[in-house]
Structure 1
Amino acid sequence: MPLISAPALRAKIGTVRLLDARPSPEEYQAGHLPGAIHADLNRQLSRASDPGHDPAQGGRHPLPPLARFTAQLGAWGIEPETEVVVYDANGGGNAAARLWWMLRALGHERVAVLDGGLPAALAAGLTLTAEAAITSPVGPYPAHAWQWPTVDAQAVDAIRQDDSRKLLDVRAPERWRGDTETLDPVAGHIPGSLNLAWNDNLDASGCFKAPDLLRRQYEALLQGTSPRQLTVHCGSGVTACHTLLALEVAGLGGASLYVGSWSEWCRSDRPKAKESAP
């Protein structure tokens, strides 16, 4: 399973490499799980903070250069045999699922997302510390390519017009419809896309739904289409990874990620659509 429960993590504290993927370095510094290292979405998990970064070329959170990310993993002391647990405070939706996807896409198998995130950890009796994590850096992680499928805008333009494929947008319904847009300059969605928000993967407690429930949820959406014929996107390729994680939990792995997502698409002259509220 790509998830680990808070009680299971409590039993492993001190034996796994913990990565805190909350968006705020200040929150991390104020208190984090013992031994956790902060993984910054903008600086380490994407190129968002790079000088001259243009969201029209790759979206708001394009993947970092492979060599830079493998070097970062080495700086965190992560090798192929290292057991890694990633968490955030938003059910995996901040950046924990994105980091999980990036590690799996490199071929790293021993990685899980903390189910329920930091709130679940605290409820299970884990405590926070402000002490800096001690790391033992190693060489760059031995990977030479992203092994899990990604697609670019040109491919998405073909996918959206192919009846044998499906394109899924996991933003909130009001953003997909085009009622509102708080992060990007244009409201709406890619024509032909379906919508199922990423937080529909979670139950009322903030944990992932049971695998059988997720499987039924996504089989209803796929309507017989193979998961390998599904492409998932969001605003900037972050919460899309939450749905890719949910699909993996459901036993429906193999979908591709459009990293640039709406933040790239909406800045181009490609077609855009809106829907009326139900």
Structure 2
Amino acid sequence: MSPLIEINDPALSGANTILIDARAGQNTHQRYLAGHLKNAAFVDLDKDLAAPVTDASQGGRHPLPNIHDFAALLGKLGITPQSHVIVYDDKAGAFGGARLWWMLRAIGHTHVQVLNGGLQAAINAGIELSTDEHTPTPTNPYPATEGFKNTVNIEETGIAAHDENHIVIDVRETPRYQGQTEPIDLIAGHIPGAFNLPYIYNLDVDGRYLPAETLKNLYTDAIGNVPNANIIVHCGSGVTACHTLLGLEYAGISGARLYVGSWSEWSRRDLPIGTTKR
């Protein structure tokens, strides 16, 4: 199954489809109520797709939730192993959309897609938005008990960044990577040895993913001959990295892994910091 689905696909209203609006930032619920796809249930990135943060130096600003809490959330949303989950956000999938896609894939749920272009694709297509709260029919907690697969920790990432058989991709904006500015975390710069490939390069001017072949060429130029399983992707806090992980999958490059803690964890550990482009 392609990780992306288009706004005109009839599966969006399929009998087995669970549609999720997964937003991030300020006033997420108010923005949802101001206009969302019909029958889309609301989830919040900070409250639903991440654990509470007590110390960002241990897991970053968006650590993964406890697997049992996530399983309970999926049950509350009516998601079962047979569900076709379609998720979107209002930022071209760069926040909650791709994060929830990755989380579901990481527990073995493969029947999940992200709406290409996000909410804006629906607006551009002239689809009437709903302002009604959609409450899904809950079911039992999702049968997931083994945790999230395809992650790496801070130690593995630091080693991989200096190993020619691995590549660590930093998807943040180039000025943040180069240490010129840091609007969110405490220190500017990057993990020494990491390669900068901003997630925004995945998108066209309309906020849609570039064609798969175009993305494959973009990624291959950066990755070279590194095995897929040795590709590690990170960002500021393990969210927009999922946008590139989705892009990699769409381009046919499967098996890359996520450093969840990302820069928000690394930069708080008194570890080496780079500012020179690789």
Normalised by the size of structure 1, how large is the TM-score? 0.95
Give 2:4's aligned residue. 3
Of the structure 1 ranges 19-28 and 73-82, higher mean CA displacement relative to structure 2 is found in 19-28
Q: Which amino acid counterpart does residue 36 of structure 2 have in structure 1?
A: H
Partner residue, 1:99 = 100
> Is 1:244 aligned to 2:221, yes or no?
no
Name the CA distance, whole Å, in 1 between partners of 2:160 and 2:104: 26
User: Quick one: distance in 2 between partners of 1:99 and 1:22?
Assistant: 10
C-alpha displacement at 1:100, in angstroms?
0.2
Q: Is the 8 A contact 1:6 1:115 kept in 2?
A: yes
| Residue of structure 1 equivalent to 2:19 | 18
Shift in Å at residue 147 of structure 1?
A: 5.1
Q: What secondary structure does 1:6 align onto?
A: coil
Q: Equivalent residue for 2:158? A: 157
Q: Which residue of 2 aligns with 1:180?
A: 181
Return the alpha-carbon distance in structure 1 between the equivalents of residues 66 and 39 of structure 2.
27
Partner of 1:59: 60
Amino acid at match of 2:48: Q
Farther off after superposition, 194-203 or 122-131: 122-131
Superposed CA offset, 1:74-94 (max 9, x none): 000000011111001111112
Preserved contact between residue 12 and residue 86 of structure 2 (Cα < 8 Å): no
TM-score (norm 2): 0.95
Gaps of at least 5 residues in structure 2 are none
Does 1:167 find its partner at 2:168? yes
- Give the aligned residue type for 2:49: L
Shift of 1:143: 1.2
Aligned residue runs from structure 1 range 42-121, under 5 A: 42-47=46-51, 50=52, 53-121=54-122
What code does the residue aligned with 1:63 have? L
Which residue number corresponds to residue 196 of structure 1? 197
Q: How many residues align?
A: 273
Gaps of 5+ in 1: none
Q: Which amino acid aligns with 1:260?
A: G
State the distance in 1 between where 2:43 and 2:140 align: 18
| Distance (Å, rounded) in 2 between the aligned partners of 1:223 and 1:85 | 32
Q: Which deviates the most, 129-138 or 195-204?
A: 129-138
Residue 13 of structure 1 and its aligned partner are, at CA, apart by 2.4
Partners of 1:136 and 1:25 in 2: CA distance: 19
Q: Is 1:41 aligned to residue 45 of structure 2?
A: yes
The residue identity in structure 1 corresponding to 2:44 is D
- State the Cα distance separating 1:161 from its structure 2 match: 1.9
Q: 1:191 and 1:135 mapped to 2: Cα distance? A: 45
Residue type at the aligned position of 2:262: S
